[in-house]
Structures are given as structure tokens and as C-alpha cells.
């Protein structure tokens, strides 16, 4: 996820673009850049780091020109540095582009262009687009962009300018969002409404597969195959603050609702329709996966909960003993980590001090280190031998949601990749998982439609001081994450445990009305978990179950049921966590808490 901003009109473009990018920094902040047309030539300024650095540069050396585009980056291809920052140009400086999203076939496109003699100055997929458009340009930017995007595959938004056409900006939306802002004698383009709200409240939403052509006096939209689109203008009534959260009251809710897109991005270009897998930064030596005899997973908090799902998935699919360990314990435990093993360090930020220390220890002991992280260029990614980026986009709320869900997807992709090398996954299972993974973003969207039901159930938790989350196997792993979400934002004491453990002590705490959340998606242990429900029901507990939509049994046992679509049991955590995120959110809202910045907590724990 990155932020895009464009302006064409009578005013100086750069300050307007910088102001817009500031309001888009929630979409990415590892580098930023601006390109401006001064009527004769295109000039680009860009800088690694937060937007403030670029703004300071421009304050000293202003860019003059009234047509421009800008970008704030959240890296996906290429480390966050000056070179990889957008905008990108072709070598002659004729075309300049910014882009948000992923060009899936950029390696093939780049190789083609390189074979024709093209030189690249960055590692990004974006630069390839600048080359392609320049290559296709015959005097009309719109047509050149149309031909170029005809060759590109992926989910992205692209904005381009040509040196030979001052006062014109052309853009394309392929899934990633784009809006036009309509001013008086001036036009704006942005990834999101907050960037332009200070200038105009009249906007036009660009839909998927559409091209945009703007000049100071007008805008037009057409389809990729050239048919004009008649689109009505909308008047935005949100406050600037509301707009920054996309109209959601909190970043956490926005991020929960971004999960279908985040899952799509995690899978994008990695799992083809025919089932082939491309994990570009995972490059095991020959035979490594085949001979692997131990996997260590290390992380903290939510990331470790994703690791607990990974442990079950790896052991089931790969038949490799796997341990998921708290990083802060592992680093002092003198663990039996040996060469030939794989250590997967999971971290949204890639900067958690304990995780970095445990990962370093594993590497020193000869284990191969794989980083499963969301932040490109993070310390963890720099220290790892292999990297699988989750591509969740920036996560602002302290309570992690979309980062967790995309970590899970990353683990399934890894398991499939290693399983294929070991030849241990039956073809039918492999097929079933591939199909189910490809369909998972839509199913996450279906779970989100139950938000109002979850909200109604949340009302039943509000006055309680203690909540329990139970499940077995993978359901227990999900219960741990559901419980953490509940405690960190609702401040209700919450414990998760395997359903079979209750009767060994905790049952003493279950009394009339105690809420017990039961996750119940695993066929082999279904009846056993139902027995645990009966134990707590006999003590008067209020039982809320998370179960498949076609489970006709559960309503006989639970007081309330949160339904998820059917998927292979191994994948159920990706869906089962979503109602639990919503539940924690609505309980915390009803209790009047600070949702995005809960007390005593920080987004990234960079001290021991």
C-alpha cells in the first residue's frame, strides 16, 4: 500500500502534493517523492524516510511547476531507499510515473526490456512501467499508458506524466484505489479522499479497470478498451479526521475491513491459477527443504500466535517437528537449534527487540533464518537469509489484525513450497489448499458482513471482568489470538486455553454468566470440544461459538454462534479470527476505550 497524489492547475503543484501526501502517510512512509512539470521539462525530487525529509529538501530547493505527481511509499519491491523511491522515469526523462500496488510479471517485463538494451536504476517494478510507457509513446500519453498496462499484470494504481504534454496527467486503476478531486480550474488525483479534502469536496471515484485523463479544465474516464464512462460526482461530507480513517471510526476497524485486500496482496503473484508458486525472496539451497528436520518459529504477541498456527500447519503438511517459541524465552533458553534447521522469525514491524535477538541466536547456531515480516527493509528482513513479506500495508492500530491474517497466509504459502520440495503433500490436498487459498479473500469479505451480528453479541460481554477462549489444535491457536485482542483493547481479563485443559483448574472460575468463547472448526476434535461446552454450560456459562455456516449441531449447545464460510479445516484460522477481532473491537468500543492506542502498549516493542 502506498499513497499517490497528483495536481494540475494554476498553482504551484509541489506544496499541494506534499500536503496531500502528508494525509496519505498512513498508507506508507518509508520514502517519498515528487515530480513536477515546469512547462519544459520534468524534475524529480525524492528521499528515503518520512515525508518530512522530502519536505525539508523542497523548502531549500523548491520545485517550480503547476502540474505534478507525488508518492509516499510502503516498499514491496526493492528496499526503502532514495533509488527505489518514486517517482520513476525512463532513462531519457520523457515519462514519469508513480504507482501503488504490485506488477506481478515485472521480472519478465524487465528481462524483455533489458534484452532490448534498457538500463534500470532501481529494483522496483514501477520503473519498468516508466520504460514501457516511454517505449509505447507516440505523442499521446493516454494511448501509451493503455498499451503499456495491456502488458502488465497485477493489482495497482498508476499515474503518469509526459515531458511532451505539460498540464496533463493520466492514471489507471487496476484494483488499487484512486479518486479524482474536482476544483475550479484545477484537478486533483489521489489514492484516498483525505489528500484532497482541503481543496475540494467534489470527488469522482475511479473504478477498477478504468483510465483517467485530467487537465486543469476537465476530467474524463474511459475503460481500458477505450469506451467513455459517464460517472457522477459525489459530494464528500466527512470531516478531515473521518476521511483519514476512510470513514471508519477507528484505524483498527478500517484495518479489519482491509483484510480481503491484504490477503489478495499477500497472494498476488505468488500463487498462480495453475497452482504454481513463486516466493521471490525465499531461495533455499538445493535440497534444503527436502532434508529439513526441524523448524523453529519465534516471535512475540500476535506474531507468535500466527506462529502457533504455523506449527500445526507445518507438522501436518510437512511432517517436520516444529516448535513455536516466545522470542524472549528462546533467546535465554540455550535452545537445541542446529545447522540444517529452519528458523522462521515472524514480526509485523521486523523491529521487535526480542524477536531480533532470538533470530540472531538461531542464525549463530547455524539455522537458516527466514523473516516473515510486513516491513520491507526492516532490521529482521536485512538479517534474514530468506524473506516472505506479508504485504499487509501499514498497520496503524496497536492491536494487530491484518498483519496477523497475512502472516497466516504467508505460512500456508511456505508450507506448500516446502511440501512440494519434500513431495509429502498429496496432490489432492495440494489442489484443495491452492483452490481454497485463492478463494480466501472473498470468504474473508463474507465474514465481515456479519459485523452487525457480532456487535449485538458484544453487548453481552460489556459488564464482565473475565472471559475465556477455548478450542483444540488450530482452534486453540485462534483462541489465543482472539483472547489477546479482547484483553488488549477491552481491558477485560481474558485467558485462552486448550478446551481439554479447563477441567484441570480453570473451570473453578466459570460461574453463571461467565462468557466462554469456543472456536470449533476442527472435525477430528469437534465432539471433544462439544464436551467442554457442556462442562461450562453446566456451570451456567454464556457460550459463544465460532463455527462453520453449515454446522447444524452447534446451535444445540451454544447460546450464540458466529458463522464463517466452509474451508478446509487447515485454513479455518484465516476466517475464524475475523469475528473474534470484531468482537474485541465492539466490546472495547462499548466500554468506551481508546481503540487505536490502548493504555500501556506500543505498536512496536524495540526494547527488551
- Residue 426 or 602 having the CB closest to ligand M6R: 602
The answer to whether the CB of 250 falls within 8 A of the CB of 399 is: no
C-beta of 482: minimal distance to ligand M6R in Å? 11
- Residue 318 or 397 having the CB closest to ligand M6R: 397
The CA-based dihedral angle spanning residues 353, 357, 358, 360, taken in that order and rounded to the nearest 10 degrees: 140
Distance between CA 136 and CA 134 in Å, rounded?
5
Binding flag, residue 255, ligand M6R (CB under 6 A): no
Distance between CA 585 and CA 579 in Å, rounded?
10
C-beta of 327: minimal distance to ligand M6R in Å? 8
The answer to whether the CB of 299 falls within 8 A of the CB of 327 is: yes
Binding flag, residue 348, ligand M6R (CB under 6 A): yes
| SS3 state of residue 148 | helix
CA 228 to chain centroid, in Å, comes to: 33
Distance between CA 36 and CA 67 in Å, rounded?
6
Binding flag, residue 261, ligand M6R (CB under 6 A): no
Task: Match 473451570 to its residue by C-alpha cell.
Answer: 507
Distance between CA 405 and CA 574 in Å, rounded?
6
What percent of the residues of the chain are helix, what percent strand, and what percent coil, each to the nearest 5?
40, 25, 40
Q: Give the residue at shortest CB distance from ligand M6R.
A: 301
- Residue 379 or 514 having the CB closest to ligand M6R: 379
Q: Which of 399, 415, 519, 558 binds ligand M6R (CB under 6 A)?
A: 399
Pick the catalytic residue from 151, 487, 537, 603: 603
Q: Which of 265, 411, 488, 569 binds ligand M6R (CB under 6 A)?
A: 488
- Residue 113 or 399 having the CB closest to ligand M6R: 399
Q: Which of 76, 89, 124, 347 binds ligand M6R (CB under 6 A)?
A: 347
Using CB atoms within 10 A of its CB, is residue 391 exposed (0-12), middle (13-18) or buried (19+)?
buried
Among the residue ranges 25-33, 182-190, 282-290, 349-357, the one whose residues contact ligand M6R (CB under 6 A): 349-357
Task: Give yes or no: 528 in active site.
Answer: no
Among the residue ranges 289-297, 395-403, 416-424, 446-454, the one whose residues contact ligand M6R (CB under 6 A): 395-403
Using CB atoms within 10 A of its CB, is residue 505 exposed (0-12), middle (13-18) or buried (19+)?
exposed
Distance between CA 114 and CA 277 in Å, rounded?
25
The answer to whether the CB of 501 falls within 8 A of the CB of 548 is: no
Distance between CA 32 and CA 73 in Å, rounded?
6
CA 388 to chain centroid, in Å, comes to: 13
- Residue 14 or 303 having the CB closest to ligand M6R: 303
C-beta of 115: minimal distance to ligand M6R in Å? 41
User: Which DSSP state fits 277?
Assistant: B
CA 406 to chain centroid, in Å, comes to: 6
Q: Which residues pair with 33 in a beta bridge?
A: 46, 71
C-beta of 400: minimal distance to ligand M6R in Å? 4
Q: Which of 191, 349, 490, 572 binds ligand M6R (CB under 6 A)?
A: 349
- Residue 301 or 471 having the CB closest to ligand M6R: 301
Among the residue ranges 5-13, 348-356, 429-437, 558-566, the one whose residues contact ligand M6R (CB under 6 A): 348-356
Task: Pick out residues in 301-330 that bind ligand M6R (CB under 6 A).
Answer: 301-303
Task: Pick out residues in 417-476 that bind ligand M6R (CB under 6 A).
Answer: none
Number of residues that bind ligand M6R (CB under 6 A): 16
Q: Which of 100, 367, 400, 581 binds ligand M6R (CB under 6 A)?
A: 400
Q: Binding pattern to ligand M6R, positions 276-305, x when CB under 6 A?
A: ------------------------xxxx--
- Residue 266 or 302 having the CB closest to ligand M6R: 302
- Residue 462 or 605 having the CB closest to ligand M6R: 605
C-beta of 605: minimal distance to ligand M6R in Å? 5
Instruction: Indicate the helix (H) or strand (E) that contains 188.
Output: strand 187-190
Pick the catalytic residue from 2, 300, 311, 443: 2
Task: Give yes or no: 67 in active site.
Answer: no
C-beta of 532: minimal distance to ligand M6R in Å? 26
Cell numbers placing 124: 522496483
Sort residue 415 into left (φ over 0), alpha (ψ -120 to 50) or beta. Answer: alpha
Among the residue ranges 36-44, 246-254, 285-293, 397-405, the one whose residues contact ligand M6R (CB under 6 A): 397-405
Binding flag, residue 343, ligand M6R (CB under 6 A): no
Q: Where are the beta strands (DSSP E) in 303-385?
A: 322-326, 342-347, 368-373
Distance between CA 258 and CA 184 in Å, rounded?
33
Cell numbers placing 378: 526492516
Cell numbers placing 302: 500476535
Distance between CA 87 and CA 119 in Å, rounded?
17
Cell numbers placing 433: 489448499
Q: Which of 352, 390, 406, 521 binds ligand M6R (CB under 6 A)?
A: 352
C-beta of 481: minimal distance to ligand M6R in Å? 8
Residues taking part in catalysis: 2, 603
The binding site for ligand M6R (CB under 6 A) comprises 300-303, 347-349, 352, 355, 398-400, 484, 488, 604-605
Amino acid at each position: 500500500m502506498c499513497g499517490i497524489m497528483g495536481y494540475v492547475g494554476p498553482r504551484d503543484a509541489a506544496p499541494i502534493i506534499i500536503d496531500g501526501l502528508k494525509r496519505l502517510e498512513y498508507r506508507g512512509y518509508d520514502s517519498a517523492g515528487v515530480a513536477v512539470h515546469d512547462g519544459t521539462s520534468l524534475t524529480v525530487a525524492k528521499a528515503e524516510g518520512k515525508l518530512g525529509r522530502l519536505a525539508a529538501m523542497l523548502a531549500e530547493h523548491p520545485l517550480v511547476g503547476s502540474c505534478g505527481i507525488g508518492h509516499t511509499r510502503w516498499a514491496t519491491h526493492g528496499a526503502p531507499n532514495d533509488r527505489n523511491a518514486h517517482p520513476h522515469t525512463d532513462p531519457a526523462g520523457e515519462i514519469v510515473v508513480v504507482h501503488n500496488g504490485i506488477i506481478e510479471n515485472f521480472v519478465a517485463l524487465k528481462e524483455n526490456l533489458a534484452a532490448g538494451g534498457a538500463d534500470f536504476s532501481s529494483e522496483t517494478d514501477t520503473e519498468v512501467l516508466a520504460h514501457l510507457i516511454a517505449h509505447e509513446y507516440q505523442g499521446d500519453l493516454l494511448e501509451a499508458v493503455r498499451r503499456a498496462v495491456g502488458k502488465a499484470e497485477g493489482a495497482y494504481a498508476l499515474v503518469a506524466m509526459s515531458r511532451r504534454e505539460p498540464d496533463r496527467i493520466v492514471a489507471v486503476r487496476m484494483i488499487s484505489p484512486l479518486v479524482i478531486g474536482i476544483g475550479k480550474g484545477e484537478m486533483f488525483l489521489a489514492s484516498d479522499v483525505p489528500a484532497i479534502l482541503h481543496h475540494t469536496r467534489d470527488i469522482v471515484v475511479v473504478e477498477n479497470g478504468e483510465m483517467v485523463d485530467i487537465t486543469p479544465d476537465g476530467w474524463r474516464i474511459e475503460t481500458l478498451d477505450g469506451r467513455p464512462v459517464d460517472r457522477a460526482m459525489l459530494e464528500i461530507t466527512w470531516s478531515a479526521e473521518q476521511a483519514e480513517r476512510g470513514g471508519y471510526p477507528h484505524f483498527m476497524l478500517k484495518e479489519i475491513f482491509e483484510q480481503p485486500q491484504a490477503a489478495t496482496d499477500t497472494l498476488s503473484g505468488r500463487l498462480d491459477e495453475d497452482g504454481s508458486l513463486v516466493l521471490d525472496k525465499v531461495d533455499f539451497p538445493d535440497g534444503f527443504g527436502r532434508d529439513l528436520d526441524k523448524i523453529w518459529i519465534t516471535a512475540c504477541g500476535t506474531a507468535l500466535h500466527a506462529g502457533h498456527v504455523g506449527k500445526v500447519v507445518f507438522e501436518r503438511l510437512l511432517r517436520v517437528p516444529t516448535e513455536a517459541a516466545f522470542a524472549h524465552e528462546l533467546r535465554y533458553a540455550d535452545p537445541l537449534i542446529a545447522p540444517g534447521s529452519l528458523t522462521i522469525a515472524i514480526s509485523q514491524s521486523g523491529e521487535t527487540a526480542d524477536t531480533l535477538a532470538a533470530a540472531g541466536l538461531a542464525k549463530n547456531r547455524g539455522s537458516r533464518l527466514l523473516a516473515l515480516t510486513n516491513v520491507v527493509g526492516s532490521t529482521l528482513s536485512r538479517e534474514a537469509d530468506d524473506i516472505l513479506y506479508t504485504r499487509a500495508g501499514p498497520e496503524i492500530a496497536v492491536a494487530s489484525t491484518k498483519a496477523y491474517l497475512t502472516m497466516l497466509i504467508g505460512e500456508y504459502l511456505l508450507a506448500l513450497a516446502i511440501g512440494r520440495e519434500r513431495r509429502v503433500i498429496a496432490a489432492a490436498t495440494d489442489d484443495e489448499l491452492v483452490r481454497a487459498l485463492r478463494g480466501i479473500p472473498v470468504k474473508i469479505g463474507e465474514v465481515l458482513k456479519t459485523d452487525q451480528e457480532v456487535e449485538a453479541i458484544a453487548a453481552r460481554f460489556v459488564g464482565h471482568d473475565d472471559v475465556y477462549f477455548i478450542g483444540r489444535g488450530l482452534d486453540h491457536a485462534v483462541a489465543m489470538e482472539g483472547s489477546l485482542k479482547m484483553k488488549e483493547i477491552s481491558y477485560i481479563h481474558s485467558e485462552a486455553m486448550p478446551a481439554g485443559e479447563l477441567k484441570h483448574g480453570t473451570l473453578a472460575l466459570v460461574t453463571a454468566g461467565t462468557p466462554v468463547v469456543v472456536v470449533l472448526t476442527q472435525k477430528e476434535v469437534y465432539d471433544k470440544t462439544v464436551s467442554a461446552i457442556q462442562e461450562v454450560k453446566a456451570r451456567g456459562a454464556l457460550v459463544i461459538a465460532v463455527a462453520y455456516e453449515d454446522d447444524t449441531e452447534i446451535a444445540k449447545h451454544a447460546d450464540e454462534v458466529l458463522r464463517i464460510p466452509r474451508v478446509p479445516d487447515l485454513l479455518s484460522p484465516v476466517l475464524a479470527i475475523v469475528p473474534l477481532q470484531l468482537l474485541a473491537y465492539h466490546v472495547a468500543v462499548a466500554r468506551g476505550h481508546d481503540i487505536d492506542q490502548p493504555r500501556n502498549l506500543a505498536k512496536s516493542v524495540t526494547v527488551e
